[in-house]
A and B are shown apart, each in its own frame.
Chain A
Amino acid sequence: MMSVDEGRSRAAVPAGRPGPPTGPDRNARMAGLMTAAAGGSEEALGQIVTELTPLLWQVARAAGLSSGDAEDVLQTVWLRLLSHLDGIRSPASLTAWLVVTTKREAWRVRAAGRRHVPADQDWLAALPDQGPGSEDQVIVDDQRRALWAAIGRLDQRCQELLRIIAFVPRPDYAAVAAKLGMRPGSVGPTRGRCLAKLRALLASGPEGSPV
């Protein structure tokens, strides 16, 4: 059996892109924004919206909503937060509350079954373009393609979980995973089934043949 090619999985990531801000600075800043927002600061609330809406967009889309439904659902979620902000104690709880509420609102829309079937959900069909680039870019493109293909071979639950967690600020992983009730597959202090499976797929190459 091949050993994991660490270099390959590592380099699958286009370098230099900042992820969601992490660390104690972010926590302190978010906690401050939450206090100010609970006190009625529109500006503070607006900053929280700007920071967390990209995550919630992915949650809504991963739940199978059309773009239009996703926009409506996210508005509903944020409006609902206005009545709950007082009771949420930490940035991690806020992220978890928003993610779970988005999922619930998305289920609600889907369960109602009245809305049009989304025509714009075939995201796996096309690998997003990174634009023209250097020789280095060609290597990165191969790695992106391999990662995209591996994601496509995961079961739907893992696709959804990893898609969500990838947008969650790192200190909030555990709180979100616990709230999602996805413990068995989930990412938190441990790697979890879904990431382990993804790494196995990447290491074994397309269709299980050696790379």
Chain B
Amino acid sequence: MTPPDAGGWPPADGPLDEADLELLAGIRDLFQAADPMPADLPERIRFSLALRDLEIEVARLAAEEDQQALAVRGPEQSRTITFDSDSLTIMIRIDQNRDGTARVDGWLAPPERRDIELKTGGGSLDAASDAQGRFAFARVPQGTAQLVVRPAEQGASGSGRSVVTPALIL
């Protein structure tokens, strides 16, 4: 128990007391209710951390363009997303197939032959980029997906690290 302060408010340099801790608990409850974390976020993060790569380089989302709004392209929806890491830029275009799957076309800059994995909820898909840095996954199931670009062949200039994107929803 803390005695009430005589004649004033508790000073900033006083020790934390029970009332402070309970106020903090009240603040936590309010923000938890006002702005809750999406319930599935930890699961999505766990998905994106499940990697067999020992050395990774994180590619950050750099730009996203949703062309659905342009509406002049017809019923098909197309999204273009760019990721940047220290050594690589990855651009992908996502188109919806008629059968409900998605097609992912990608480009690496600088252009290089690399093994590329697309992790999905239903397992992994493998592809490789060509000398121009192009790669494609023709039919990707809807849901969470994450790109992993493996290091260049030994002897090439690669850093030996895999470039990993955040998981996105296709």
Q: A and B bound?
A: yes
Is B37 a contact partner of A57 (Cβ separation < 8 A)?
Answer: yes
CB distance from A198 to the nearest CB of B (A): 7
Given A4-B9, A71-B41, A162-B27: A189 and B22 within 8 A (CB)? no
Is A163 a contact partner of B16 (Cβ separation < 8 A)?
Answer: no
Q: Could you tell me the dominant secondary structure of chain A's interface residues? A: helix
B76 adjacent to chain A (CB < 8 Å): no
Find A151's partner among B15, B27, B33 (CB 8 Å cutoff).
B27
CA–CA, A50 to B23, complex, Å? 24
* Residues on A facing B (Cβ under 8 Å): 1, 3-4, 6, 9-10, 12-14, 17, 19-20, 42, 45-46, 49-50, 53-54, 57-58, 61, 67, 71-72, 74-76, 78-80, 82-83, 105, 108, 112, 114, 123, 126-130, 143-144, 147-148, 151, 162-163, 165-167, 170, 187-193, 195-200, 202-203
Is A163 a contact partner of B31 (Cβ separation < 8 A)?
Answer: yes
Q: How large is the interface on B (under 10, 10 to 19, 20 to 34, 35 or more residues)?
A: 35 or more
What mask results when residues 100 to 116 of chain B are scored 1 for a CB within 8 Å of chain A, else 0? 00000000000000000
List the 3 closest pairs (A to B, CB-CB), nearest first.
A128-B33, A75-B166, A57-B37
Q: Which residues of B contact A49 (CB under 8 A)?
A: 42, 45-46, 49
Binds A, one of B58-66, B91-99, B150-158: B58-66
* Residues on B facing A (Cβ under 8 Å): 2, 4-35, 37-38, 41-42, 44-46, 48-51, 55-56, 58, 60-63, 164, 166-167
CB distance from A46 to the nearest CB of B (A): 5
CB distance from B150 to the nearest CB of A (A): 16
16 pairs of residues in contact across A and B, judged by CB atoms under 8 Å: A4-B8, A9-B22, A12-B23, A53-B45, A72-B60, A75-B166, A76-B60, A78-B45, A151-B30, A166-B24, A189-B15, A190-B13, A191-B15, A195-B12, A198-B23, A203-B9
CA–CA, A143 to B33, complex, Å? 15
Q: Which residues of B contact A195 (CB under 8 A)?
A: 12, 16, 20, 23-24
CB distance from A201 to the nearest CB of B (A): 9
Is B9 a contact partner of A196 (Cβ separation < 8 A)?
Answer: yes
CA–CA, A129 to B32, complex, Å? 11
Is A10 a contact partner of B22 (Cβ separation < 8 A)?
Answer: yes
CA–CA, A53 to B42, complex, Å? 7
CA–CA, A191 to B13, complex, Å? 6
CB distance from A193 to the nearest CB of B (A): 5
CB distance from A74 to the nearest CB of B (A): 6
Nearest opposing residue in chain A for B37, CB measure: A57
